[in-house]
Amino acid sequence: MFFFNDKNLSFIIVGLGNPGVSYKNTRHNVGFCAIDYIAEQENLKIKTPKFNSLCQQINIEGKKVLFMKPQIFMNLSGKAVFEALKFYKISPRQLIVLLDDVNFEVGKIRIKKSGGDAGHNGMRSIIEFLNCDRFARIKIGVGSKPKYFSDLANWVLSEFSEDEKKILNDVYKECYSSFKLLLSSLNG
């Protein structure tokens, strides 16, 4: 059960994406897909509206974790994350963000404990709202923009091929393992 007034939260995990059916299966929404996979493994439905997001809290390995899927557009994700961190009075070091990355091929993930936005609008928004880049992120490769795509926005808003979707099923399993590793290695 989720109690928003319970302020003893250990971590917030945020999947980045854009709300709405038209964006559901796009490259830019792999953060949503990954967090949904993790939630499913924990028998959790992320459905409670709060902080301009869909949220749900769960105890994992003795730690209270808030799952969030911001329901505002990607370039405003920081507003939702900032509201949650402020409400729970927790540090950005207790934040884990799942997001897409065009610098990696489909199937590759990269875990970082801090860093810049690498041109990602959702990450830029979070860094600007928090005035901090010292938080963990799990970057999920979505492939670089092919030359025949006119701009990057069209590429990240395109859907994956059937072969890429098969690869992503294994990637989400890796994200789940990485998430559990981060929970045990970060202080929260």
- Rounded Cα gap, residues 181 and 186, in angstroms: 9
Q: Please confirm, yes or no, whether 120 is among the known catalytic residues.
A: no
Among the listed residues 17, 26, 28, 175, the single catalytic one is 28
E strands, the chain, are 11-15, 48-50, 53-60, 63-70, 95-101, 109-112, 136-141
E strands, 9-135, are 11-15, 48-50, 53-60, 63-70, 95-101, 109-112
Strand 63-70 vs strand 95-101: parallel, antiparallel, or unpaired? unpaired
In angstroms, the Cα distances linking 75 to 17, 31, 81, 121 are: 10, 14, 12, 5
Q: Are 152 and 74 in contact (CB under 8 A)?
A: no
- Rounded Cα gap, residues 163 and 140, in angstroms: 16
| Cβ neighbours, 10 Å, residue 95 | 25
Half-sphere exposure of 16 (CA within 13 A, CB side): 29
Question: Residues with catalytic annotation?
Answer: 28
